[in-house]
């Protein structure tokens, strides 16, 4: 069930906060300059390669509160990818992703040689969700036959409308799961209004309390990138508030 998967991959995003990662099938990812951390895990039971990114970090508040967009986009395996005119992404989030992208892509390339049938999944909470979004799009372009999936939790918007529309063509809605917890303010912090024009991609799952399949709404509006009746109704943004800092799915929280 979808809800069970939302809980399952949330556990990975929580583990990305650990200082020491348990298990031999885990490969740490980090860049000290951008303070970007995560890990790559191999799940032999599900036949998956899971990439999890850490969320909040000391520099995150400054990063998420700066809404600078850039049209110089380097989120794929190569910097020569062609994007539609007007495509822009969050400058800080892209810089954080690019700091670990070469290592991540090289590692997964090697893993897929040994495990060619494994599916790639990316996940993360907060800033980790922004990185998971960039990673998923990049990995899908790098490995076009792999049906990459992404699960984000409390993630901010990472690009403008043109980017979000393009991302939905790379990662179909049924493979991009965006979870918002109650009135979490971070998903709406990057503003929709001009000159910014940020938009989310993927399908929203609005998790109300108490968390259960019955209280998790699927928010899709035909012809719209974001459902007007979904969490975007939380306006103005409440910022980094308690629902963002304390998230619980099943018996797991961060």
Q: 139: which strand partners? A: none
Cα separation of 107 and 234, whole Å? 39
- Tell me, yes or no, if 184 is annotated catalytic: yes
Catalytic residue among 99, 138, 184, 237: 184
Cα separation of 11 and 19, whole Å? 15
Query: How far is CA 118 from its chain centroid?
Result: 20
Tokens coding 100: 């670990």
Q: What is the DSSP letter of 239?
A: B
Which region, left, alpha or beta, applies to residue 146 given φ > 0 means left and ψ of -120 to 50 means alpha?
beta
Catalytic residue among 126, 133, 138, 231: 126
Cα separation of 221 and 114, whole Å? 41
Query: How far is CA 83 from its chain centroid?
Result: 20
| Residue 199: how many other CB atoms lie within 10 Å | 22
Q: 249: which strand partners? A: 252
- Tell me, yes or no, if 126 is annotated catalytic: yes
Active-site amino acid positions: 126, 184
């Amino acid at each position: 069930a979808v809800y069970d998967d939302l809980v399952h991959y949330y556990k990975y995003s929580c583990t990305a906060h650990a200082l020491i990662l348990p298990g031999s099938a885990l490969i740490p990812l980090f860049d000290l300059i951008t303070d970007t951390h995560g890990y790559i895990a191999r799940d032999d039971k599900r036949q998956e390669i899971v990439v999890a990114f850490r969320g909040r970090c000391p520099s995150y508040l400054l990063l998420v509160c700066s809404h600078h967009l850039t049209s110089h986009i380097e989120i794929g395996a190569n910097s020569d990818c062609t994007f539609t005119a007007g495509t822009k992404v969050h400058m800080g989030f892209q810089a954080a992703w690019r700091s670990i992208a070469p290592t991540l892509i090289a590692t997964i390339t090697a893993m897929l040689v040994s495990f060619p049938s494994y599916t790639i999944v990316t996940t993360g909470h907060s800033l980790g969700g922004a990185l998971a979004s960039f990673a998923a799009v990049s990995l899908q372009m790098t490995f076009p036959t792999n049906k990459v999936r992404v699960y984000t939790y409390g993630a901010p918007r990472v690009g403008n409308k043109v980017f979000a529309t393009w991302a939905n063509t790379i990662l179909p809605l049924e493979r991009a799961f965006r979870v918002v917890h109650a009135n979490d303010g971070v998903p709406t912090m990057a503003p929709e209004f001009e000159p910014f024009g940020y938009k989310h991609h993927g399908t929203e799952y609005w998790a109300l309390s108490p968390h259960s399949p019955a209280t998790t709404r699927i928010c899709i509006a035909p012809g719209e990138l974001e459902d007007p009746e979904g969490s975007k109704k939380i306006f103005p943004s409440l910022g980094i508030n308690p629902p963002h800092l304390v998230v619980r799915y099943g018996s797991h929280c961060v």
